[in-house]
Structure 1
Amino acid sequence: MKGIQDNNLSIMPKELMLLLQIINLEKGKDTEPIIDKYFIDIDWELFLELARHHRIYPLVYSKLKMLDGKIIPLYVIRALYQEYKVNTFHMLQLSGEMERVSQLFRENNIRLLFLKGPAIAADIYGDISLRTSKDLDILIPITDLNEAEKLLLNCGYEKEEIESGLTKRKWGSYHVSYYHSQKKIQIEIHWRLFRAPAKEPSFNELWKRKRVSSLTSYPVFFFGKEDLFFYLVTHGAKHGWFRLRWLADIDQIIRKSNITKESYLFQTKYQLHLIGQALILASQLFKTPIHEEILPLTKEKRSRKLAELAKFYIVEMGHKYINQSSKDTLANSNHPFTKKTSIKNFFYIYLYEYSVKTNIHKLLFVLRLLNPNSADVKTLRLPKSLYFLYFLLRPFLIFWRKTRKSL
């Protein structure tokens, strides 16, 4: 087992690096080097905001007992405990609903596989309190979609309709959401893992390799080990790993499973560059030991390029989230990115989103990017007879908006 050299982590805020160091603490290991190096001039409000954004506060809280309680402010420890407690109650609630929905669907001859939620948390961490999950995601055959919707509606769930307009489209969708206002639980039903025409295993293939969760008394089915790894890698890469929880999942799976070249993922060549990217990031950020058999994936040029872009994406998306969610903007002079770099940020964000896609999805991405939306209309109002000009003017309108934001 080997690690990968930590290249270019200087763009990471020191508060984020501290969070990672706490998560990576091991029993019996000396913590003094971490205290001396990372507990310096920490913005504790930013520390908490990043823990919330990346959904890693349960892991952070679980490691606090390994540190001297005096080096972290008491209000920070209490805030983490409160988040941890609320999440534990939520995961218990989801566990009950997961079991009920599983029984309801199976009694009506609908096969279902859980993509995330308590079953996955229990499998990866052995403890549902150590992972967060906002909702329950379920994969079913597309032929059962109408029947599944009827069952949920009869149970008090309401369908969340897709907004109409220039920026929201129903075409190409692969899941639909339902929300129960009394239980305050959301369920997403998927009939594909990813947007078509992405290559992915069929439902029948996934069903053959399914596992049964040990969390509930009634059978709850979820992905086989390799399928879960493939899904989390692809899902995390698609979203630029902007929540480090996904990389924490990858870290735990690799530590507990022996993923080698014998895996069918490697035999079928499923997105090997994305697996390579995930291995690089997990090793550098979570100190994940990589098996020598699959270490060559981390040497591939495309994997390394995607990993470098992902680090930028992780930092910038965290910064964006905090600015949007906080009343008092937490962006300060110590942050590696400021408003003056918004054009640069815009370029690198879209470069990552473009680079991570397959060739067909790159084409669709460019077409969507060039397709006018409501922001263009607000920037420059044209009579309807001249709307066709928005297609030509869109690059200039985007540049204008980003330039104005940077002033």
Structure 2
Amino acid sequence: MSIRLPEPSSLAPEYQLLLLAARDPDHPPDTGRLAALCAGDLDWDFLLRAAREHRLTPLLHHWLNRLGVEGVPTSFRERLTVQAKGDALNVMGLVTHLKEIRAAFDAGGIPVVFLKGPILGRMAYGSMALRPSSDLDLLVAERDRARAIDLLRERLGFDMDAHRLDRLSPRRRKHLLHHTHEATLGHSRAGLVLDLHWRASKFDRTQFSDWETFHSRRQEVEMAGETYPYLGTCDLVVYLACHGARHHWQRLFWLNDLAVLIRRWPDLDWGAVLDRAVEMGEQRALLVGFALAHHCFEVPLPRPFAEALADEPMVAGMAERIFRVLFAQTGPQAELPVHLPAFSMARWTFDLTPAFSKRFALTLKFLLVPNRRDWESLSLPDFLFPAYYVLRPPRLVWQYALRPLFRPGSRRKTAKPLEHGS
């Protein structure tokens, strides 16, 4: 399969520099290319903003300092250092909370597996400070969801809830938790946000639903003198690809995670990783992610993936769409991170799902299953809750077909991904 993407060398120099510097400490970038880019005509303000929005500030700071690259304005170095130190301090704070959360879940008898976060920084980059994290992510069995939420609130002091579950009626709360995959909780005094997952995605109820099998594949990762239950290697790669794909790879550090793991684990059984993705119905998410990581970050494509790409012609078009959107905007007016228009996001989510049965289920869910927007647009008592299933289709027709006719130009505006509520 040939993916017709522009060469990274044809991108704006600020993006070229970010892609070149996005390497772990064991695989340094080409010093000559780095110096040549820094000596060129760069928009340093845009570079700083792009590094922050794509979560690549720590790596850019690391390599500019470690390699002693000249031609970098002093003011830029100072601002970059401030951002990098802020990212590092934030990650250090998260590690402190990780220890408390691990101890609390152990004491409460609730099995947990950690996702992404500082542990991924330690595993993939050799330093938790080189991969920014703004929150913590945990995965529990769906049967333990209520106990885990209670533990986080009562024992650990999480007092904020993005879903406002306490304000929902019992019927609406039950419906929301059944049809979503996570609860976002906040700790106001600690300034901490935590996403509690019981599935990997709201679109697929089967992902990680076999908790016993999944939990048995976990690995224990040592960090800062503690060990943490973490995703098994194959599950980790598939999860990272699924997570990035669901967010249409709008931040480059998600793609870079895959690139770094390819470099660090050359002897991994990549065929087993691909088999795991096929088992979960997520092969397209995996293949798009690896195709983009291969092209953007100049990492070798594992042989099983190169062979699988030949059997998935749609992946080429999907990768091209994401690549062109990712790097289309530069300068002070650039929209970062990039959001696809609502229709494009719906098409993207649909294209990620190769199985007809899952596509059909996804379509029915979008058309018929009510969410917060439905009951916020019309408040009904709980005994009339089934009426929302009837009212949702006409609301969608109004929102996406009729209302734009009365608001010229609204079709051209971008929207947040449909996953976050339509």
Q: Percent identity of the aligned residues?
A: 21
Asked if residue 180 in structure 1 is aligned to residue 187 in structure 2, the reply is yes
Mapping for residues 87-236 of structure 1, pairs under 5 Å: 87-154=87-154, 155-162=156-163, 170=176, 172-201=179-208, 202-236=210-244
Query: Deviation at 1:283?
Result: 0.8
**2:264 aligned partner:** 256
Alpha-carbon displacement from aligned partner over 1:331-350 (angstroms, at most 9, x marks no partner): 27xx9xx9xxx9x9665454
**2:180 and 2:202 in contact (8 A); partners too:** yes
Deviates more, 1:132-141 or 1:145-154: 145-154
**2:309 and 2:315 in contact (8 A); partners too:** yes
**1:27 and 1:66 in contact (8 A); partners too:** no
**2:369 and 2:392 in contact (8 A); partners too:** no
Asked if residue 330 in structure 1 is aligned to residue 332 in structure 2, the reply is yes
**2:255 and 2:293 in contact (8 A); partners too:** yes
**1:372 and 1:390 in contact (8 A); partners too:** no
Mapping for residues 9-24 of structure 1, pairs under 5 Å: 9=7, 12-23=11-22
Query: Deviation at 1:253?
Result: 1.3
C-alpha RMSD over aligned residues = 3.8
Structure 1 pair 220–78 and aligned structure 2 pair: CA distance change class (3 A): same
Q: 2-side partners of 1:119 and 1:15: how far apart?
A: 29
**2:91 and 2:133 in contact (8 A); partners too:** yes
**1:313 and 1:352 in contact (8 A); partners too:** no
Alpha-carbon displacement from aligned partner over 1:304-332 (angstroms, at most 9, x marks no partner): 1211122234346xx5xx9xxxxxx9227
**2:39 and 2:70 in contact (8 A); partners too:** no
Letter of the structure 2 residue corresponding to residue 91 of structure 1? V
**1:290 aligned partner:** 301
**2:319 aligned partner:** 307
5+ residue gaps, structure 2 = 378-390, 414-422
Asked if residue 246 in structure 1 is aligned to residue 254 in structure 2, the reply is yes
Query: Deviation at 1:118?
Result: 1.5
Structure 1 pair 100–273 and aligned structure 2 pair: CA distance change class (3 A): same
TM-score normalized by the length of structure 1: 0.79
Q: 2-side partners of 1:75 and 1:89: how far apart?
A: 21
Q: 2-side partners of 1:76 and 1:365: how far apart?
A: 48
Q: 1-side partners of 2:237 and 2:185: how far apart?
A: 26
Structure 1 pair 142–245 and aligned structure 2 pair: CA distance change class (3 A): same
**2:138 and 2:196 in contact (8 A); partners too:** yes
Structure 1 pair 272–353 and aligned structure 2 pair: CA distance change class (3 A): closer
**1:8 aligned partner:** 6
Structure 1 pair 68–227 and aligned structure 2 pair: CA distance change class (3 A): same
Q: 1-side partners of 2:291 and 2:309: how far apart?
A: 6
**1:247 and 1:278 in contact (8 A); partners too:** yes
**1:383 aligned partner:** none
**1:47 aligned partner:** 47
Query: Deviation at 1:365?
Result: 7.1
Deviates more, 1:221-230 or 1:184-193: 184-193
**1:309 and 1:348 in contact (8 A); partners too:** no
Q: 2-side partners of 1:370 and 1:156: how far apart?
A: 31
Q: 2-side partners of 1:265 and 1:27: how far apart?
A: 28
**1:325 aligned partner:** none
Q: 2-side partners of 1:19 and 1:288: how far apart?
A: 15
Letter of the structure 1 residue corresponding to residue 257 of structure 2? D
Q: 2-side partners of 1:176 and 1:301: how far apart?
A: 36
5+ residue gaps, structure 1 = 323-328, 378-385
Letter of the structure 2 residue corresponding to residue 292 of structure 1? R
